[in-house]
Structure 1
Amino acid sequence: MASVVAAKNQRLLLGLLAVAALVGAGLLALPALEEKGTFFYAPSDLAVRPPEAGARIRLGGLVKEGSVTREDDGLTLAFIVTDGATETAVRYKGLVPDLFREGQGVVATGRISPTGDFVADTLLAKHDENYMPPEVAAGLERAGAVGTESAGR
C-alpha cells in the first residue's frame, strides 16, 4: 500500500516538473516571439488605425524625394516615408544601409514617439531596382501609389 502512494506522489512530482519546464520554455521564447509579432504598417495605415503607444511596428513605403537630412552628430538620419497618399516622419540613429536612398523602398522597425514621429532602430532597403519587399508593395497598392508594377519580383 505504501509503495502505491509513493508511486502516485512520484508521478505527481514528475507532472509538476514537466509543467514547470514548459512554463520556463515559454518564458524564454517570448522575447523571440515579440520580434516575429511585429505588425507591418504603411503610412496610410498609421493614419487610419495608429498602434498602441510604444508598440513595436514595421513601417514600409518609399523614402520621399528631398526629405533625407542628417543631424550634426553624423549618425542621426531624418526622412519621410510615403505610400503616395500619406507621409510619416522617421528618425533613425545608426549605420544606414548602402542601398538606402530617396525614392526607394524602405522598411523601418521601431516605435511611435510621444511627438508622433516614428523612431526606427532598424532600416532595411530594397536590394535592387527590380525588387520591392512584398509588404511595402501591398501597402503602396492599398494607398493607390503608382509605380508598383515590379513590386515583389
Structure 2
Amino acid sequence: MRGLKKKRRIQIVMVAAAALVLSTGLIGYAMRDGINFFRAPSQILAEPPAPTETFRIGGLVEQGSLVRGQGETVRFSVTDGGASIPVVFTGVLPDLFAENEGMVGTGRYVDGVFEATEILAKHDETYMPKEVKDALEEQGVYRHYEGEEGT
C-alpha cells in the first residue's frame, strides 16, 4: 500500500510537469508573432534588422517629407534627431497624423525603407508614446511640456 501511494505521487508530479512544459510551449508559440520590439531610427541604422522581422519604429515625422502618392500610398521619413528612416505606408492615416508630430509604425525594414502595415499617431497635443519619448530624450531632441508627468 505504501509503495502504491509513492508511485501515485510520482505519476501526479510527472503529469503536472508535462502539463507545465506543454502549456509553456503553447504560450510561447502563440506569442511568437505578437511581440513587436520597438526601435528608434538611430538603432535601425546602427543594426539593421532582417527583412522578415516585424518591429515598431517611432519618432517624429520629418518636416517636409510627407508625400502622398496615388491611391492610399503615403511616403514620409521618421526621425529621432540622430537619424532618419524613409517609410512607405498604404492605407488610411490617422486624422492626427502630421509632419513634426510623434508617430509609431509597425512593419518591416526592407532595402533601406520601412514598409509599414500600421501607423499610430498621438492623440492630443502633449501625448507621445513612451518609447518614442525615451528615444528622443536620448538624442536630446524631446522637450517636456508643462504639467507632463515625469517632469
Q: TM-score normalised to the size of structure 1?
A: 0.77
Give 1:70 deviation, angstroms.
3.6
Change (3 A) 1:91 1:148: same
Contact kept in structure 2, 1:133 and 1:151, CA below 8 Å: no
| Distance across 2 between alignment mates of 1:95 and 1:5 | 69
Query: What is the 5 A alignment of 1:123-142?
Result: 123-142=119-138
Q: Please, what is the CA RMSD of the aligned residues?
A: 2.6
Give 1:118 deviation, angstroms.
1.5
Establish whether residue 32 from structure 1 lines up as the match of residue 27 from structure 2.
no
Q: What residue number does 1:150 align with? A: 145
Contact kept in structure 2, 1:85 and 1:144, CA below 8 Å: no
| Distance across 2 between alignment mates of 1:91 and 1:151 | 34
Contact kept in structure 2, 1:132 and 1:152, CA below 8 Å: no
Q: In the comparison of the two structures, how many residue pairs are matched?
A: 147
Residue 62 of structure 1, aligned match among 44, 48, 60: 60
| Distance across 2 between alignment mates of 1:93 and 1:28 | 33
- Partner of 2:107: helix, strand, or coil? strand
Q: State the one-letter code of the partner of 2:55.
A: I
Q: What residue number does 2:116 align with? A: 120
Gaps of 5+ in 1: none
| Distance across 2 between alignment mates of 1:110 and 1:81 | 13
Identity %: 40
Change (3 A) 1:8 1:151: farther
Gaps of 5+ in 2: none
Give 1:152 deviation, angstroms.
9.5
Give 1:22 deviation, angstroms.
1.2
Give 1:13 deviation, angstroms.
2.4
